[in-house]
Structure formats: C-alpha cells, structure tokens
Amino acid sequence: MTTLLVCHTCRERVAGYESVHYGSPETGYRDLCSRCFNEEVARLGGLKFEHVQFESVEMMDAAGEPHRFHFSVRLNGEHVALEAFELKDGAPGGYAFEVLGDPEWDLFALMAQLIERMRRALSRRHLERDEGSAGLRIAEFLVRGRIDWDENEDGHLPLLMIDGREVTWEQFGRMLMAYEGWQFKLEIKDASEEV
Ligand SMILES: [Zn+2]
C-alpha cells in the first residue's frame, strides 16, 4: 500500500516516496511534495530552476518483460538528482537509476541521459535460470547490481538487486560456488554512476 501525505505548502496529496521530510530539529519538520521542496531549495539558493514532473514510462528488458518507471526530481543545492525507479507493493523496488546534473541545466537533457542509461541496463542480463540450489546462475562471468537493505537480515547482510530482481546474499553465495577456486574483482560505485 502506498502511504499518502499532504504537502505542507500546496496541500496536494502525494505518495510517501514522492515527498521530502524537510527541516531541522530547531525549526521542526514539514512534509513537502518534490515540486514545493525543489522550489524552496532553489529560492534559498538563488537558483534558476524549473521543476518538471515527468510522467511514468514503460520499458522492456532483455527478456521482453515490461517495467514501469516513475521519476523523481530532487534539488539539493549543488546538484539536481533525477531518479527512475519501479514500484513494488507501493514502494520503490526493483530497478533504480540516478543521474546528477547542474541545477540550472535543462532537465529534459538530463532525462535523455537517464533514459539512455536505463536502456543500456535493461538490455543486459546477468543471471539465468538454473536447476541448481540457487535457482539462478551467473550467465557470463560478470554481475552488476545494487546493494539493498534486507528486512529479514536486519541490515547485517545485504539484499542484492540484480537484473531488477531481489537476490539474497545466500542465493548469491550459492551461485558463486559454481566458480570455486576462481578469482573475482568487486568494485563499488555511487548510485549516480553507471556500472
Ligand atoms: Zn507541494
């Protein structure tokens, strides 16, 4: 279920993932929609910034499965972050992408950059079905993904997001055992970088 909040400034109802809990312990906190949050940050920073609410889009992955992406634009003073994410049970989950730009750049140009990155990522497939204990195997010696929070592990072990699907740490370990004695290289990158 999606939790709806009321924006403190414009009184619009927005989904929790589209809102920002903004403020400080001294001034108190307010829930703002992305637009009101960005406009306030731009005003405080003296930036020429125009918020755009992008419509969701559907894109196919390499297996022909559709994925619906929602977009969020978030200004943080130095950068504007443009994010694309899927929803699982009303909250962001599955594929997620982010690009950073200058707040005074054209947001549509940044969007074109993000869409290109999404296309490249969706055209790749790192895991394939397997009869073995993990149910999946590494297709071609290379895996890209995201490190997420695993509710069941209370944050002690990661939940991996690979090919837009959840892979537990244990499942991934089983997949790696197909390569016992081999070597690997693990490189960690910021969410806004392309891997
Ligand atoms: Zn608002």
Which pLDDT band holds residue 80 (cuts at 50, 70, 90)?
Answer: very high
99 alpha carbon – ligand 1 mean position (Å): 23
pLDDT exceeds cutoff 90 at 78: no
85 alpha carbon – ligand 1 mean position (Å): 21
34 alpha carbon – ligand 1 mean position (Å): 7
23 alpha carbon – ligand 1 mean position (Å): 15
More confident residue, 90 or 82: 82
Q: How many other CB atoms sit within 10 Å of the CB of residue 62?
A: 12
pLDDT of residue 2: 74
pLDDT exceeds cutoff 70 at 172: yes
pLDDT of residue 1: 64
- Widest pairwise Cα distance in the chain: 59
Percent of the chain with pLDDT strictly greater than 70 = 99
pLDDT of residue 20: 92
Q: How many Cα atoms occupy the beta-carbon half-sphere of 169 within 13 Å?
A: 13
Average pLDDT, the chain: 94
> pLDDT (tens digit, 9 = 90+) per residue, 105-154?
899 999 999 999 999 999 999 999 998 877 899 999 999 999 999 989 99
88 alpha carbon – ligand 1 mean position (Å): 24
User: Is the pTM value of this prediction over 0.85?
Assistant: yes
7 alpha carbon – ligand 1 mean position (Å): 5
45 alpha carbon – ligand 1 mean position (Å): 18
Residue 182 CB partners (closer than 8 Å, separation 6+): none
